[in-house]
Amino acid sequence: MSTATYTVKGMTCGHCVSSVKEEVGEVSGVTGVEVDLASGLLTVESDSPVETDRIVAAVEAAGYEVADRS
């Protein structure tokens, strides 16, 4: 199992969180998504590492921006 954490900018409400979770959850290989509105943290779980570009593209498709990846 692989876990990656990102910081998402621009989320202001529960709907924002839902949008990010939905888009990232549709990325092939992703098995779990957690989003914390207060901190902006996005945690992505997968069976094997997922390319950062694919996660960033999903966040952008939801209308937000990845500020940092750790």
In this structure, what CATH number is given to the domain that contains residue 32? Answer: 3.30.70.100
State the chain's maximal CA–CA distance in angstroms: 30
> Which residue has tokens 């409400």?
13
Task: Pick the closest to residue 66 from 52, 54, 53, 56 (CA basis).
Answer: 56
Q: Apex CA 51: angle with CA 64 and CA 17, to 5°?
A: 30
pLDDT in tens, 20-30: 999 999 999 99
pLDDT in tens, 12-67: 999 999 999 999 999 999 999 999 999 999 999 999 999 999 999 999 999 999 99
**Token pair recorded at residue 37:** 């509105």
pTM to 2 decimals?
0.93
- State which residues form the domain around 15: 2-69
User: What domain count does the chain have?
Assistant: 1
